[in-house]
Chains A and B, each alone.
Chain A
Amino acid sequence: MAETTYLEAIRQALFEEMGRDPAVVLIGEDVGVYGGAFKVSEGLLEKFGWERVIETPISESAIVGAAVGMSYAGLRPVAEMQFIDFIACCFNQITNFVAKSHYRWGAPVPLVLRGPCGGGVHGGPFHSANPEMYFVHTPGLKVVCPATAYDAKGLLKSAIRDNNPVLFFEHKYLYRRIKENLPESDFTVPLGKAAVRREGRDLTILSYAAMLHTSLEAAGELEKEGIEAEVIDLRTLLPLDRETILASVRKTNKLLVVHEDTRTGGIAGEIAAMVTESAFEDLDGPIRRVTSLDTPVPYAPQLEEYFMPNAAKVVAAARELAHY
């Protein structure tokens, strides 16, 4: 059986959900004839036709607005941002219209807004963003950041079937770099559940998306030094799986959070607050974090490498924490 890349897994989820439910449509820029900037939606137009694969003008606010309208009419639209950086252009639609809809007047918005995020591919300040925390701070949304092909497929299927608006951040560094064998069955991965990727007793490393792989690489290095790191993949940032996080902290008593997002206001801060509120007595050391710098994502490879976390930075922080 051929291995499936992270990108192909996303495409499979779209094919399968559109095949399963005619209420599912795709809307975005260049998603049809061209198949999307990264070819995620390649083949969908051919199979499902112009009515279900809707090419739009360059109008992010109109894309999200139209998707909201479709969802009010009972459809389950999947809207694509060509690069997730452009989500800033429709911030108002998402935070004011979409997120508040159910709370304010009981109107569910079953839409998925997906697109490629993340750095490490030298995309520069406008094609590398990790904007998840703007939306984690917005009640009413769900925010999903898959790290594996299996999760990308299973979480996207769950997101499409969910009655709530889901922002689905696909890490573009992972699109074609990771692959695995996927079951042929119609599987889903529940939203809001973290996964323990590696068991350990000395400290917990929490991460998500591309940084999960960096964290696992670091855990392999740490093992050589006799440090057993438990690595947890958050998978969904909102709602956050507090139980899995707290259970691991209660076991290892030390917590390191690793994210590619910038430092101030990143999810690490929220997790640190939550853990100190709920498991302060279980901590045997300060909660540490390895994150990107508080700057825009720089272009030159040397600058970007310096800006982002890598396995060496994670190993250094984890080693220090383990010996605390």
Chain B
Amino acid sequence: MASTLTREQYLELYYYMRLNRELEEQMVRLFRQNKIVGGLYSSFGQEAISVGTAYALGPHDWIAPMIRNIGALLVRGFKPRDILTQHMARYTSPTLGKDGTSHFGDLKTRHVVSPISMLGDLIPVMTGIAMAGRYLGQKIVTMTWIGDGGTSTGVFHEGLNLAATQKAALVLIVENNQWAYSTPVERQVPLRDLADRAKAYGIESAIVDGNDAVAIERTTREAVAHARAGNGPVLIEAKTMRMRGHAQHDAAEYVPKQMLEQWKKRDPLDRYEKFLNENKLWDAKTKKEIDARIAREIQADVEFAENSPFPPPELAGEGVYCEGCHTVEADWKRPKEEVIPPRSSVKARWPPELFTGNGAQPSPGKNAEARSKPAKKSARTPARAKAGR
């Protein structure tokens, strides 16, 4: 099979996926010991998506994870202790105990935007970052994830429509895990493929087997290149299965057992190990070493989290406003003169070449003429990989 990754990179993919799973298994144990303060959301069976998609990004790109994207946070450089202390509401957590779960981020270095619980809101936010990135000359791509259920929200559509009209460098991963809490996808969306949502916005899309880490990484890498080249957003539907309940409290008895049994055979980690074996990318010793390293790291970070203090109560009253504690600075990668008059000045009328009657139009800009030509089918357009449904 054609591949672009080095052996080290393939092993790194395994490391993150296994770390993702083992960390969550550890958190289940902590949950049962009442050490997790709030809810616990599992990505068991979806690790290949979080890790494979985030792995396809460059260091300056931006992500905004969803609740089941701990793997993406690990790929961006957050440590198990960050995730553990968040769930355990400790003062050492990235939010100092002010928020839980994966609701944290890092604007300055890791370029991670904290999600909120309301679904779809991240799409316009990441579109805005992509727009700002283009304005600042950064050549960045932004990525966020949404579930099958989240594609029904209004802001999903508003956001994707804006991204499409702006030709924003956004890669949207739709994790179709078949369930929105207790409601099957068939009852939420009148489409067989959620990738078809992209048709309404005239953007590229792809379907990928969400339990195949190699296919996910490769498809996402193509999508990222497509978006980075200025060809507009890409929607990737990753077909997978939520193997646990909506959250730890949910026994998910509404899920047919047969469905779980079928999907268990497609477990992304089992399949990826098989891939590494078949391609002789590792041996038993290497696996043992990586697994041992993961166990050590988790153990050390659990100890760190358990020994961490809870926040001082009076912290509750602090930090509503930014009162000089943060700086706001744009990272300009192009000459500012280009956006300052007189160079920025234009004729305030719609450019005639806009009106070609071809439906969706790009927003006019300096490149309006070039953009209004019919889009060529890009060679980099992500292929519709075989669905895992």
Binding site for B on A (CB under 8 A): 19, 22-23, 25, 32-33, 35, 43, 45-52, 54-57, 59-77, 92-93, 96-97, 100-108, 110, 139-140, 142, 163-164
Contact = CB atoms under 8 A, between A and B. Distances in A.
B99 interface: yes
Interface string B258-275: 000000000000000000
B89 interface: no
Tell which of B159, B348, B349 has the most Cβ of chain A within 10 Å.
B348
Nearest to A60: B158
Given A69-B124, A69-B130, A96 B135 contact: no
What are the 4 tightest A-B residue pairs by CB atom distance, in nearest-first order?
A69-B128, A65-B124, A74-B330, A66-B128
Interface stretch (B19-27, B47-55, B317-325): B317-325
Tell which of A64, A101, A105, A164 has the most Cβ of chain B within 10 Å.
A105
Interface in B303-361: 319-322, 324-326, 328-331, 336, 339-341, 344-350
Contact of A59 (B158, B331, B346): B158
Contact of A66 (B107, B124, B154, B348): B124
Contacts of A51: 135, 339, 344, 365-366
Interface of B: 94-95, 98-99, 103-105, 107, 113-114, 116-118, 121-133, 135-136, 142, 154-155, 158-159, 161-162, 165, 319-322, 324-326, 328-331, 336, 339-341, 344-350, 363-366, 368
24 contacts: A19-B340, A45-B346, A46-B348, A48-B341, A50-B364, A50-B365, A51-B135, A51-B344, A57-B161, A59-B158, A66-B127, A66-B128, A74-B132, A92-B155, A101-B114, A103-B319, A103-B320, A104-B99, A104-B114, A105-B94, A105-B95, A106-B326, A107-B105, A163-B324
B123 A65 contact: yes
Contact of A33 (B94, B126, B321, B349): B349
A74 B155 CA distance: 23
A69 B143 CA distance: 12
Tell which of A76, A77, A163 has the most Cβ of chain B within 10 Å.
A163
A69 B114 contact: no
A48 B340 CA distance: 7
B52 to A, nearest CB: 24
B99 A105 contact: yes
B104 A47 contact: no
A57 B124 CA distance: 12
A56 B159 CA distance: 11
Nearest to A23: B330
A49 B365 CA distance: 8
A19 B341 contact: yes
Contacts of B165: 56-57
B114 A74 contact: no
A70 B103 CA distance: 20
